[in-house]
Chains A and B, each alone.
Chain A
Amino acid sequence: MTKNKKGGSNPRTKAERVSLAISIALLAGVIGIVLALWFSSSNEPARFHVSQGVVRNETGLYYLPITVTNAGSETGAEVTVEGKLKKAGDPEIASTTFDFVPGRSSVEGILVFSQEPTAAEVYVTSYQQP
């Protein structure tokens, strides 16, 4: 099987050589990135930071944009974020859940409050290991 049964293999055309060179470069790039990820991965558990955006007022309700960043290398699933706004009486709580927050990535969401929430305390309350 090492020789073409038609009698000598046709030499590759220039076009085929160009395709092969690009393919090898692409594949080497992909494998290189994966190896780099492998050697740099530290199996750190998921660690979340929540940052707040600019509040938007819509017909009496306040929309607080949040960005959840996973600084660890493990993925967090069902990541639940809660915002607590202290006020007279019971504090107002808004929450949302993200399906997945992969390691070293971030996701965005919105928490909705009935009062101005700039001073709200926003934190991750729970997540699952997928």
Chain B
Amino acid sequence: MRLCYATIHAFKPAFTQEVSSTDIYELSNAMANAKRRSPWKAELDDLMRAIAGAFLFGAPFLYTMEVWWKGNFTKPPRMLLLLGIAYAVLILLNLQGGFRKGGLKTWIQIFTEAVEALAIALVCVTFSLILIGVIRFETGLEAIMGRIITEALPFSLGVGIANNVLLAADEDNNNSKSEGKSESKNDGNALVESDQAQAVWYGTLADAGATALGAIIVSASIAPTDEIPMISSMISIPWLLIIIAVSLLLSYIIVFQASFGGQATRRSQPGFFQSPMSETFASYLISLLVALSMLWLFQLVHVGDPMTQWVSYTLVLGFPATIGGAAGRLAL
């Protein structure tokens, strides 16, 4: 849906003069159908939704050292049990949701989707643990597998509830949006320019506030813990650049690639946050600011501490904070 809405926004000034909103809506549906026909794009969207779900639910567990520690002495039979539990839970979740778009599923689809969900969770966890320096070359294979599999359980749950929680909200928003459309059609060109300018400011502030709130909720619970100094000490300065890149990418994936709740509504509201790139960068900066404030508030950084400490702590906490910020913009 991203492409068609973006296209409509680009041509909006010309269209509003000559084409009714109903025509635009039909055009957007036609374009959405055309997009749906591309199986590779549809598959990519499904996978991105799964990744987004995994991180939304799994991020707080990723910054919990006790979860890594349990992985240090998890024996292979228990690892298989954990994988089995994750698979069984995913099957139950797939009965009502999962991460793939679509209606009712056959049993085979339910079982195979659970296999994919588990694989996605394992990949996301492996990648994240390498990113925050918890998995290294010198870590023994058994400890690596223990850490990955222990951490994969909450990530799998996130993949399993991706549709249940967020796609349902998206449909609600679409419905309310189409109702709103018919009302606005009657209003005609009632919206004068000053109102539009006001709406742009309002939309921007609403999105910025939602980002800040989401980032506060996540970072306030992580900032006071020892994980931030611990992870910062485990990674090098150049590695921080990779954390920045991954934070931006995840923020983008969560809001613009996955068809999560509230997207359609959000794109229909004006403001600085409606361009994908500007939104991603602006929300990352807001999340970093929130992370920095939380670190200072909980006295993990003080005036006089070295700049590298300020920067690395903020970027390390900024990773889950920006995931929270993206979730906040969708939820509020």
Interface residues of A (CB under 8 A from B): 1-6, 9-10, 13-16, 18-20, 22-24, 26-27, 30-31, 33-35, 37-38, 41, 70, 73-75, 77, 99-100, 102-108, 130
Q: Are B109 and A9 in contact (CB under 8 A)?
A: yes
Which residues from chain A contact B79 at a C-beta distance below 8 Å?
34, 37
- Given A9-B109, A13-B43, A31-B83, A26–B141 Cβ distance below 8 Å? no
- Return the chain A residue nearest B100 by Cβ: A16
- Interface of A, secondary structure class, is mixed
In the complex, B107 has a CB within 8 A of chain A: yes
Interface residues of B (CB under 8 A from A): 39-40, 42-44, 47, 69, 72-73, 75-77, 79-80, 83, 102-109, 112, 115-116, 118-120, 122-123, 138-143, 145-146, 148-149
Offer 26 A-B interface pairs, CB within 8 angstroms, sorted by A.
A4-B106, A15-B40, A16-B43, A19-B47, A20-B115, A20-B116, A23-B118, A26-B122, A27-B115, A30-B122, A30-B148, A30-B149, A31-B83, A33-B145, A34-B79, A34-B80, A34-B145, A41-B142, A100-B72, A102-B73, A102-B139, A102-B142, A103-B140, A103-B143, A104-B142, A105-B138
- Given A4-B104, A102-B142, A107-B138, A23–B83 Cβ distance below 8 Å? no
- Complex-state Cα separation, A74 to B74, whole angstroms: 10
- Complex-state Cα separation, A73 to B103, whole angstroms: 48
Q: Are B72 and A30 in contact (CB under 8 A)?
A: no
Q: Are A9 and B106 in contact (CB under 8 A)?
A: yes
- Return the chain B residue nearest A25 by Cβ: B119
Q: Are A38 and B72 in contact (CB under 8 A)?
A: no
- Interface of B, secondary structure class, is helix
- Given A20-B116, A30-B145, A34-B79, A75–B73 Cβ distance below 8 Å? yes
- Complex-state Cα separation, A38 to B40, whole angstroms: 38
- Given A9-B109, A13-B42, A19-B43, A41–B75 Cβ distance below 8 Å? yes
Q: How far is the CB of B186 from chain A (nearest CB, A)?
A: 37
Lowest 3 A-B CB distances belong to which pairs?
A: A105-B140, A102-B143, A38-B76
- Complex-state Cα separation, A23 to B123, whole angstroms: 10
Known: A9-B108, A100-B73. 19 other contacts (CB 8 A): A1-B106, A2-B106, A9-B106, A15-B43, A23-B116, A23-B118, A26-B119, A26-B123, A27-B118, A30-B145, A33-B141, A37-B142, A38-B80, A41-B76, A74-B73, A75-B73, A102-B146, A105-B140, A130-B69
- Return the chain B residue nearest A24 by Cβ: B115
Q: Are B83 and A30 in contact (CB under 8 A)?
A: yes
Which residues from chain A contact B75 at a C-beta distance below 8 Å?
38, 41
Q: How far is the CB of A45 from chain B (nearest CB, A)?
A: 13
- Return the chain B residue nearest A3 by Cβ: B106
Interface centre among A16, A27, A102 (most CB of B within 10 A): A102
- Given A20-B115, A100-B72, A27–B106 Cβ distance below 8 Å? no
Q: How far is the CB of A19 from chain B (nearest CB, A)?
A: 6
Q: Are B143 and A23 in contact (CB under 8 A)?
A: no
Which of B80, B105, B116 touches A4 (beta carbons < 8 Å)? B105
Which residues from chain B contact A23 at a C-beta distance below 8 Å?
115-116, 118-120
Q: Are A106 and B138 in contact (CB under 8 A)?
A: yes
- Complex-state Cα separation, A13 to B140, whole angstroms: 39
Which of B39, B77, B80 touches A31 (beta carbons < 8 Å)? B80
Which residues from chain A contact B69 at a C-beta distance below 8 Å?
99-100, 130
Q: How far is the CB of B233 from chain A (nearest CB, A)?
A: 13
Which residues from chain B contact A35 at a C-beta distance below 8 Å?
76, 80
- Return the chain A residue nearest B139 by Cβ: A105
Which of B72, B83, B112, B149 touches A20 (beta carbons < 8 Å)? B112
Q: How far is the CB of B88 from chain A (nearest CB, A)?
A: 14
Q: How far is the CB of B51 from chain A (nearest CB, A)?
A: 12
Q: How far is the CB of A79 from chain B (nearest CB, A)?
A: 12
Which residues from chain A contact B40 at a C-beta distance below 8 Å?
15
Q: Are B72 and A102 in contact (CB under 8 A)?
A: yes
